[in-house]
């Protein structure tokens, strides 16, 4: 420390007081000690404050210089004190944070975590794709009358297609009440209610008298689509299904139509979508998604049979349309590699939980 | 339909395409190829053997036979588990060292206490289509040895087994393709081959026969069998074949074709009828002429008549049955199955061959009523070519002449066909359906490929061929053009986008509901909607539920009137699988009340409003419900109730709660949930009796609400009106009120709300106390009130005024007093 060249009171040890104060500050090792020492350093009774109070008793000639020296000493001590306090406070804060540290991996998982069923979310996803194309979503009853499920769909009594569908019938026997075997009756209801033009998809559960095993369920979900307007062609059917397949399974996937037969469409086709995993490429096979077929079955479709339009009061000479139906269970199973369809209907929470709130 | 490629090639000598191209062509034409079986390539060491004796071994879990089989060079001992062969039968025998498909090597071994020195093979073991459960019996013991089937001869060579068999799926509209003849036409079209259709009528079919007399009775020239058609048949041809050598066996080529096609050789006469059916698509029936007495009549059965069919079953007939009868009564179920009394036997010399076209609906009904789906009924249901009967009858007769030394007698032909009208087709129509143009000559050529007669230029006059009864209108004709030109040539075009309105409010709200329940910590499940009467009774549901006529299981024969049975079953399954804490929900339809009968309107035009209303009135009510069940940690009656309230809040629907009572619920822990005073659901803890009856964890809780009602309430509520959010400071004040025990908290709360008036911003219950300080039969309810004004800071006077008014109202309504 440099001793000032001149002292107003050579016998008054201001410098010594200041140095002692600075030393006290420097020696304070904890915040508590520093705060306890404050009174002695900068308090009213501290030597420096007492010295400043004593300035008034000095002769005017000396007062100015002495005042400057005392103030300088006070400033120096006070600044040293504040700096030290900052340092010690920071140290304390750091220590507290360390002391308060926890093991963030100790979790009791007490918040219940819910989840939605993949069939629900796939229905929403599929519906959203069509809504984005300007379509609307319709619904119909699950317990339906045979007229909507069969007659109006050009499947008269004793048509082999009726037998094939293994219908679950409702009492009283012969009442014509049944569990719908397809979502197609919603087509009929929609056309009867809205008439043409009509762009509607109808997701829902359908039922067959099939016993439950790894690949069959008596209850499953379908998505039905119906477009009726002037000038609708099979090219529009192809375009729509291509757009939908890309949205559901991935951009750039090819689709393929194979001739088929459904009583309510003419011409009729089966839709195949290129396998999203191997895309038919031998290098990526064996493929567990498509069993090396290169294609995934996408559902049935076709141009609405004029007989169906007539049964719904729509003039087939003015309007034409297409319809399609696809199995949503199959879509979920293919997308998520579900090996056993029973997983969809048994209600095991471990199954649904994997899907979170939507996939 | 199993299609041996060699058989197809015999009809299409020009067909040289490899099998994968053939398969692709069929798929492209609309015939799914479900399997390609390569037969005989991986079989060696299997020879023709004759079963010399059979000893039934006893004392084992299943029937076991010990046999001796003569393969010519020596006799092998063999142990066999199948039962469908008898002493004298010719069988395929794998000698030690033989190899079967899948590199299955046969060696002598000890089993069931005997040496088994080889193996008697089933069709499946040889890689053949056919019954996998029994032995492939090559020829009946009663038949003589065919040259090709001499003992010890290699079976693959003897039967010409090396072949490729396509398993082709045929749609309902393509009955003609349940034959080699029909598929050959499709293949010929696909590869541009000329096709000599063996099913077309030629001059020879008139020989030895007689035309219809135009009425219902066929009267052949001199000695023909008389036929009378009364009902259900528009073509009936009966060929008389006499002098058949009953010992003549089916030649190997014929047996082989049948085996490859999945049928079992039986006897020459039967094999010949099956062969003609497979080749041409015309089901035939052969009667032993000696057993037929009097004219053949096609008629409805009369109630009380009976018939023992070929399968040995004695059947009661009704007027719904179409039968073939003679003087003795019914001798066959028309188009379904023949009768036992007129069956071809080992001694049959004179045969009547029937080729007919029966009414598809009558046959379909008959086959179903008698549970007798057969190769014949399958074809009749889908429509048999009415032009085919004489061709098929002659083909069968010719084979019997050639192979059995028989002589063809007169042929009766009752022809009551009505010619189908021709269809007027605009030449551009196919293009308008497809969304692309087809040249007129393409349209004409494709229709001709199908077999149509096409006349005119535009419009075309199109007469479909007799084998395509499905071609009834312009759409069907367009499909043929588009299909044969290839679906892959269709353009890919999106329809012009309509002005969509997005999701309806109802659908948006449904999604909100499902998300809210998941966010509340419940896992969504989807359960089958079938329930049992016992479960419904256990949960105290007095509701009538629709019953299934043909339930999947007798234990679950009703449609659910509540989601709870399915949810509880799922909960139980989870618990059984070791998950203690379960919280699951489901949204879905329930079925209330039984359905009734409504008759179906026609389909010529739209049904009238009255007809539609009648159809809908017959359906039971099917609202959507939301249900949830909880057990284990975190399950409590109040979580069940509060989850429902939270669901209401998510939908913007204010719900109230009051004590409720319902069979399934604990009588003291059941909340009825209301909206504007109308009940919309129940929530709480299940009745201990229900918990016990269903074997559920103790204190299982549940809730069920009418989701449709909540959604309707939300929609009716209209758009949300935004609250004015005051930025002035709030005043909080707590009140503890002492009430008599039975007074519901909801009443106290409602009174406080009312009394506090507009200044009340929020109120909640934060403490419930019972004990000595408030006295016996009473409890203290402590509420926190938050008060705030929209336009000023509240004064103490205002705050205390509001509090006092609230307390006073609670006092007035419930007798509540401030806790001192």
Q: Tokens 């030109």, residue?
A: B485
Query: Cα A342 from chain centroid?
Result: 26
Q: Is B264 a residue whose pLDDT tops 60?
A: yes
- How crowded is the C-beta side of A149, counted as CA atoms within 13 Å? 29
Contacts of A119 in chain B (CB under 8 A): 526
Predicted confidence at residue B729, as pLDDT, reads 95
Mutation target to probe the A interface, by most A beta carbons within 10 A, among B374, B606, B614, B623 is: B606
Please name the member of B361, B494, B566 whose beta carbon is closest to the beta carbon of A239.
Answer: B494
| Cβ <8 Å between A353 and B523 | yes
Contacts of A131 in chain B (CB under 8 A): 500, 502-503
Taking the CA of residue B387 and the nearest CA in chain A, the distance in Å comes to: 23
pLDDT digits (tens, 9 = 90+) for A204-257: 999 998 888 888 899 999 999 999 999 999 999 999 999 999 888 888 888 899
Please name the member of B433, B552, B622 whose beta carbon is closest to the beta carbon of A303.
Answer: B433
Q: Is B119 a residue whose pLDDT tops 80?
A: yes
Which residue does chain B place closest to A121, by CA atoms?
Answer: B511
**pLDDT category, B130, cuts 50, 70, 90?**
low
Q: What is the mean pLDDT of chain A?
A: 89
Contacts of A233 in chain B (CB under 8 A): 432-435, 493
Which residue does chain A place closest to B29, by CA atoms?
Answer: A259
**pLDDT category, A305, cuts 50, 70, 90?**
very high
| Cβ <8 Å between B570 and A347 | yes
Q: Is B535 a residue whose pLDDT tops 50?
A: yes
| Cβ <8 Å between A176 and B600 | yes
| Cβ <8 Å between B522 and A112 | yes
In 3D, which of B600, B130, B179, B129 has the Cα closest to residue B382? B179
Q: Which residues are B46's β-sheet partners?
A: B94
Predicted confidence at residue B216, as pLDDT, reads 35
- Residue A67 contacts B where some CB pair is shorter than 8 Å: no
Predicted confidence at residue B205, as pLDDT, reads 60
Report helix angle A47-54 to A14-27, nearest 10: 150
Taking the CA of residue B624 and the nearest CA in chain A, the distance in Å comes to: 10
| Cβ <8 Å between A347 and B527 | yes
Q: Is B468 a residue whose pLDDT tops 70?
A: yes
Q: Is B213 a residue whose pLDDT tops 60?
A: no
Predicted confidence at residue B376, as pLDDT, reads 93
Predicted confidence at residue B143, as pLDDT, reads 45
Contacts of A232 in chain B (CB under 8 A): 495
Which strands sit side by side in the sheet containing B351-358, from one edge to the other?
Answer: B284-288, B351-358, B233-242, B407-415
Q: How far apart are CA B628 and CA B703, in angstroms?
A: 5
Which residue does chain B place closest to A168, by CA atoms?
Answer: B550
Contacts of B29 in chain A (CB under 8 A): 259
Q: What is the dihedral of CA B547, B550, B552, B557, to 10 degrees?
A: 20
Mutation target to probe the A interface, by most A beta carbons within 10 A, among B526, B558, B618 is: B526
Whether A165 contacts A149, CB under 8 Å: no
| Mean predicted confidence (pLDDT) in A274-285 | 86
**pLDDT category, B146, cuts 50, 70, 90?**
low
Q: How far apart are CA B393 and CA B355, in angstroms?
A: 6
Q: Is B159 a residue whose pLDDT tops 80?
A: no
Taking the CA of residue A323 and the nearest CA in chain B, the distance in Å comes to: 13
Please name the member of A114, A144, A263 whose beta carbon is closest to the beta carbon of B518.
Answer: A114
- Residue A280 contacts B where some CB pair is shorter than 8 Å: no
CA angle B718, B719, B722 (to 5 degrees): 135
Whether B559 contacts A178, CB under 8 Å: no
Residue B3 makes CB contacts below 8 A (sequence gap 6+) with B165, B166, B167, B168, B180, B183, B261
Who has greater pLDDT, A165 or B119?
B119
Q: How far apart are CA B735 and CA B748, in angstroms?
A: 11
pLDDT digits (tens, 9 = 90+) for B722-746: 888 999 999 999 999 999 988 999 9
| Cβ <8 Å between B525 and A350 | no
What's the Cα-to-Cα distance from A106 to each of A102, A103, A109, A110, B634, rounded to whole Å? Answer: 8, 6, 9, 12, 20
Q: Is B177 a residue whose pLDDT tops 90?
A: yes
Q: Is A151 a residue whose pLDDT tops 80?
A: yes
**pLDDT category, B352, cuts 50, 70, 90?**
very high
Q: Which residues are A241's β-sheet partners?
A: none
Rounded to a whole number of angstroms, the CA Rg of chain B reads 39
Q: How far apart are CA B532 and CA B719, in angstroms?
A: 42
Predicted confidence at residue B204, as pLDDT, reads 62
Taking the CA of residue B470 and the nearest CA in chain A, the distance in Å comes to: 10
pLDDT digits (tens, 9 = 90+) for A16-42: 889 999 999 999 999 999 999 999 989
pLDDT digits (tens, 9 = 90+) for B353-397: 999 999 998 998 888 889 888 899 999 988 899 899 999 999 999
**pLDDT category, B672, cuts 50, 70, 90?**
very high
| Cβ <8 Å between A116 and B577 | no
Contacts of A125 in chain B (CB under 8 A): none
Q: How is residue B589 written in tokens?
A: 């339809």
| Cβ <8 Å between A171 and B546 | yes
**pLDDT category, B211, cuts 50, 70, 90?**
very low
ipTM for the whole predicted complex goes beyond 0.85: no
Query: Cα B818 from chain centroid?
Result: 69
Predicted confidence at residue B465, as pLDDT, reads 95
How many CB pairs below 8 Å do chains A and B form together? 292
Mutation target to probe the A interface, by most A beta carbons within 10 A, among B475, B495, B610 is: B495
Per-window interface: A 281-320 vs B, CB < 8 A: 303, 305-307, 310-313, 320
Q: pTM of the full predicted structure?
A: 0.81
Taking the CA of residue B517 and the nearest CA in chain A, the distance in Å comes to: 8
| Cβ <8 Å between A310 and B603 | yes
Q: Is B45 a residue whose pLDDT tops 80?
A: yes
pLDDT digits (tens, 9 = 90+) for B250-260: 877 888 889 88
Contacts of A126 in chain B (CB under 8 A): none
- How much of chain B is helix, strand and coil, in % rounded to 5? 30, 30, 40
**pLDDT category, A3, cuts 50, 70, 90?**
very low
Contacts of A242 in chain B (CB under 8 A): 492
Q: How far apart are CA B534 and CA B544, in angstroms?
A: 13
Q: What is the mean pLDDT of chain B?
A: 90
| Cβ <8 Å between A239 and B492 | yes
| Cβ <8 Å between A151 and B549 | no
Lowest mean pLDDT among A19-28, A102-111, B127-136, B337-346: B127-136
Please name the member of B360, B487, B548 whose beta carbon is closest to the beta carbon of A259.
Answer: B487
Burial pattern B640-670, b for ≥16 Cβ within 10 A else e, equals bbbbbbbbbebbbbebbbeebebbbbbeebb
What's the Cα-to-Cα distance from A225 to each of A205, A242, B795, rounded to whole Å? Answer: 14, 14, 64
Taking the CA of residue B635 and the nearest CA in chain A, the distance in Å comes to: 11
Please name the member of B27, B521, B523 whose beta carbon is closest to the beta carbon of A352.
Answer: B523
| Cβ <8 Å between A260 and B171 | yes
Q: How far apart are CA B417 and CA B211, in angstroms?
A: 12
Contacts of B524 in chain A (CB under 8 A): 114-117, 120, 352
């Amino acid at each position: 420390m440099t001793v000032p060249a001149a002292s107003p009171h050579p016998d008054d040890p201001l410098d010594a007081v200041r140095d002692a104060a600075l030393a006290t500050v420097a020696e304070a090792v904890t915040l508590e000690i520093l705060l306890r020492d404050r009174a002695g350093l900068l308090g009213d009774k501290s030597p420096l404050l007492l010295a400043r109070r004593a300035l008034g008793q000095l002769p005017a000639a000396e007062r100015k210089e002495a005042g400057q020296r005392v103030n300088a000493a006070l400033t120096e001590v006070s600044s040293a004190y504040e700096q030290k306090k900052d340092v010690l406070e920071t140290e304390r804060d750091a220590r507290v944070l360390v002391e308060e540290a926890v093991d963030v991996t100790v979790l009791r998982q007490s918040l219940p975590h819910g989840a939605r069923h993949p069939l629900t979310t796939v229905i929403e996803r599929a519906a959203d794709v069509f809504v984005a194309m300007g379509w609307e979503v319709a619904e119909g009853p699950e317990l339906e009358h045979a007229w909507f499920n069969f007659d109006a769909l050009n499947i008269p009594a004793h048509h082999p297609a009726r037998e094939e569908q293994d219908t679950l019938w409702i009492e009283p026997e012969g009442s014509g009440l049944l569990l719908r075997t397809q979502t197609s009756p919603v087509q009929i209801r929609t056309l009867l209610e809205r008439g043409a033009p009509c762009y509607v998809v109808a997701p829902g559960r359908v039922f067959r008298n099939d016993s439950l095993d790894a690949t069959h369920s008596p209850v499953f979900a379908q998505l039905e689509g119906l477009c009726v307007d002037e000038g609708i062609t099979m090219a529009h059917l192809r375009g729509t299904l291509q757009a939908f397949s890309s949205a559901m399974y991935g951009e750039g996937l090819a689709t393929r139509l194979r001739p088929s037969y459904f009583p309510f469409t003419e011409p009729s086709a089966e839709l195949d979508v290129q396998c999203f995993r191997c895309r038919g490429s031998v290098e990526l096979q064996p493929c567990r998604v498509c069993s090396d077929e290169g294609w995934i079955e996408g559902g049935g479709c076709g141009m609405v049979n004029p007989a169906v339009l007539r049964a719904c009061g729509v003039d087939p000479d003015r309007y034409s349309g297409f319809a399609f139906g696809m199995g949503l269970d199959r879509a979920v199973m293919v997308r998520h590699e579900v090996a056993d369809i029973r997983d969809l209907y048994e209600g095991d929470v471990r199954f649904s939980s994997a899907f979170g709130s939507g996939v | 339909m199993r299609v041996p490629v060699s058989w197809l090639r015999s009809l299409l000598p020009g067909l040289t395409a490899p099998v994968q191209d053939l398969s692709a062509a069929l798929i492209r034409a609309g015939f799914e190829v479900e399997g390609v079986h390569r037969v005989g390539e991986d079989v060696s060491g299997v020879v023709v053997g004759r079963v010399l004796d059979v000893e039934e071994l006893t004392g084992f879990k299943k029937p076991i036979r010990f046999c001796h089989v003569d393969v010519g060079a020596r006799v092998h001992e063999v142990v066999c588990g199948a039962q469908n062969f008898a002493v004298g039968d010719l069988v395929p025998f794998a000698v030690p060292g033989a190899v079967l498909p899948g590199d299955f090597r046969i060696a002598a071994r000890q089993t069931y206490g005997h040496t088994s020195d080889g193996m008697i093979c089933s069709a499946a073991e040889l890689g053949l289509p056919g019954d996998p459960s029994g032995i492939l019996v090559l020829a009946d013991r009663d038949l003589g040895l065919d040259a090709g089937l001499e003992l010890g001869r290699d079976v693959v060579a003897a039967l010409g087994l090396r072949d490729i068999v396509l398993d082709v799926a045929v749609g309902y509209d393509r009955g003609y393709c349940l034959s080699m003849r029909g598929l050959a036409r499709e293949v010929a079209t696909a590869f541009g081959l000329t096709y000599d259709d063996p099913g077309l009528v030629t001059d020879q079919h008139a020989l030895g026969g007689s035309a219809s007399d135009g009425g219902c009775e066929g009267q052949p020239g001199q000695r023909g069998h008389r036929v009378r058609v009364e009902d259900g048949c528009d073509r009936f041809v009966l060929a008389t074949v006499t002098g058949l050598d009953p010992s003549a066996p089916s030649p190997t080529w014929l047996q082989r074709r049948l085996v490859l096609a999945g049928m079992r050789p039986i006897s020459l006469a039967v094999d010949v009828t099956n062969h003609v059916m497979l080749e041409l698509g015309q089901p035939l029936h052969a009667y032993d002429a000696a057993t037929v007495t009097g004219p053949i009549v096609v008629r409805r059965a009369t109630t009380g008549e009976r018939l023992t069919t070929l399968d040995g079953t004695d059947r009661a007939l009704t007027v719904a049955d179409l039968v073939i009868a003679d003087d003795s009564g019914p001798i066959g179920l028309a188009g379904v199955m023949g009768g036992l009394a007129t069956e071809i036997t080992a001694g049959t010399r004179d045969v009547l061959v029937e080729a007919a076209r029966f009414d598809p609906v009558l046959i379909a009904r008959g086959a179903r009523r008698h549970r007798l789906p057969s190769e014949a009924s399958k074809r009749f249901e889908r429509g048999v070519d009415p032009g085919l009967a004489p061709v098929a009858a002659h083909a069968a007769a010719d084979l019997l002449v050639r192979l059995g030394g028989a002589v063809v007698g007169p042929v009766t032909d009752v022809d009551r066909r009505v010619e189908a009208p021709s269809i007027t087709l605009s030449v551009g129509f196919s293009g308008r359906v497809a969304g692309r143009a087809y040249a007129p000559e393409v349209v004409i050529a494709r229709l001709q490929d199908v077999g149509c007669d096409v006349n005119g230029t535009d419009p075309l006059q199109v007469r479909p061929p007799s084998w395509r009864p499905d071609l009834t209108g312009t759409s069907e004709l367009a499909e043929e053009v588009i299909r044969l030109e290839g679906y892959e040539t269709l353009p890919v075009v999106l329809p012009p986008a309509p002005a969509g309105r997005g999701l309806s409010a109802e659908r948006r709200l449904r999604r909100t509901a499902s998300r809210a329940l998941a966010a509340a910590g419940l896992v969504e499940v989807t359960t089958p909607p079938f329930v049992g009467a016992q479960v419904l009774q256990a949960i105290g549901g007095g509701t009538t539920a629709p019953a299934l006529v043909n339930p999947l299981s007798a234990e679950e024969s009703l449609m659910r009137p509540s989601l709870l049975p399915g949810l509880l079953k799922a909960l139980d399954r989870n618990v059984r699988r070791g998950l203690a804490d379960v919280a699951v929900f489901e949204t879905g339809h329930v079925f209330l009340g039984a359905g009734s009968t409504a008759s179906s309107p026609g389909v010529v035009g739209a049904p009238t409003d009255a007809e539609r209303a009648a159809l809908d009135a017959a359906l039971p009510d099917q609202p959507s419900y939301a249900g949830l069940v909880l057990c284990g940690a975190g399950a409590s009656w109040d979580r069940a109730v509060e989850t429902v309230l939270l669901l209401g809040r998510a939908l913007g629907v204010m719900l109230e709660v009051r004590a409720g009572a319902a069979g399934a619920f604990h009588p003291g822990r059941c909340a009825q949930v209301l909206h504007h005073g109308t009940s919309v659901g129940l929530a709480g803890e299940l009745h201990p009796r229900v918990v016990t009856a269903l074997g559920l964890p103790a204190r299982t809780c549940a809730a069920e609400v009418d989701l449709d009602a909540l959604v309707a309430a939300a929609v009716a509520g209209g758009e949300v009106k935004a609250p004015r959010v005051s930025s002035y400071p709030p005043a909080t004040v707590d009140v503890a009120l002492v009430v008599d025990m039975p007074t519901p908290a909801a009443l106290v709360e409602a009174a406080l709300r009312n009394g506090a008036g507009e200044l009340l911003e929020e109120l909640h219950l934060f403490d419930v106390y019972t004990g000595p300080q408030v006295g016996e039969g009473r409890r203290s309810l402590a509420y926190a009130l938050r008060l705030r004004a929209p336009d000023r800071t509240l004064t103490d006077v205002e705050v205390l005024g509001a509090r006092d008014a609230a307390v006073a109202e609670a006092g007035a309504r419930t007798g509540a007093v401030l806790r001192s």
